[in-house]
Amino acid sequence: MSAVSAWSTARAQARRDLQLVWRRRGDAAQPLLFTVMVVALFPMALGAEPNQLARIAPAVLWVAVLLAGLLTLDSLYRSDVEDGSLEQMLLAPVPLAWLLLVRVLVHWATTALPLVLVSPLLAEFLYLPRELLPVLLVSLALGTPLLSLLGAVVAALTVGIRRSGMLLALLALPLFLPVLVFGAGSVMAAAQGLSSWAGALLLLGAGLALALVLAPLAAAAAIRIALS
């Protein structure tokens, strides 16, 4: 496989996925609307007391982002299974892992990236101190693609099971929890003046680098097993 062929196939795959997202833009907007609603409910439930909201702001934002990511996992390959596109991807002249990596990147860009972009506004809503905003943005920028990559593997494991939403959540949560701990923990550590916040971000970065290599391969193997 030449580099030119790989990149042309990746562009075609990304263009197709973006067109499908545009046709179902209502579904693509669900994670953003869900996150906004979850964040908006906390001041209503706890009262608009700035100090109290600021203490829980990193945890609230990260939990909302994690749960929003779970909403879209079931649809990651579902339409491809129903219309036979997944079998065509298996027969493509490029590695399936490469196509799946493109799919995950498009999925992240259309579902998680909007959450990262609106997170400063949501952080202001929860009275998060502005000096903590860079740490929050970096943690989300590293953690959300890692969640998408891990979710792609879990979704591939259940691709042959109908109505696998609950099973997906049960399988994904143990993998997502370390990302949540390091992501929210980095912001909490920075808020307390601890130097460990940088180490948490480095661990997220290392996990992301590892997942970029291994997650597409694991997802491709799981799909081949599921469809065999």
Q: Give residue 193's pLDDT.
A: 84
Say if residue 213's pLDDT is above 70. yes
pLDDT top residue among 95 and 120: 120
Q: Give residue 165's pLDDT.
A: 65
The rounded mean pLDDT for the chain is: 86
Q: Which residue has the tokens 């597409």?
A: 216
pLDDT, average across residues 8-35: 80
C-beta neighbour count of 11 within 10 angstroms: 11
Say if residue 1's pLDDT is above 60. no
Express each pLDDT in 42-62 by its tens digit: 888 887 788 888 889 999 999
Share of the chain above pLDDT 70, in %: 94
Express each pLDDT in 129-185 by its tens digit: 989 999 999 999 999 999 999 999 998 888 867 666 677 888 888 999 999 999 999
- pTM, full prediction: 0.90
Q: Are 94 and 2 in contact (CB under 8 A)?
A: no
Express each pLDDT in 61-73 by its tens digit: 999 999 998 888 8
pLDDT, average across residues 200-223: 93
Return the domain boundaries, the chain: 3-227
Alpha helices of 93-195 — where are they, by DSSP H? 96-107, 113-125, 133-157, 165-191
Tokens of 120: 């400063």
Say if residue 2's pLDDT is above 60. no
Integer Cα distance of 62 and 122 in angstroms: 11
pLDDT, average across residues 114-138: 92
Nearest to 71 by CA among 42, 119, 37: 37
Q: Give residue 145's pLDDT.
A: 95
Integer Cα distance of 168 and 171 in angstroms: 5
Instruction: Output phi, psi for 115, to 5 deg.
Output: -65, -40
Tokens of 111: 């579902």
Q: Give residue 144's pLDDT.
A: 95
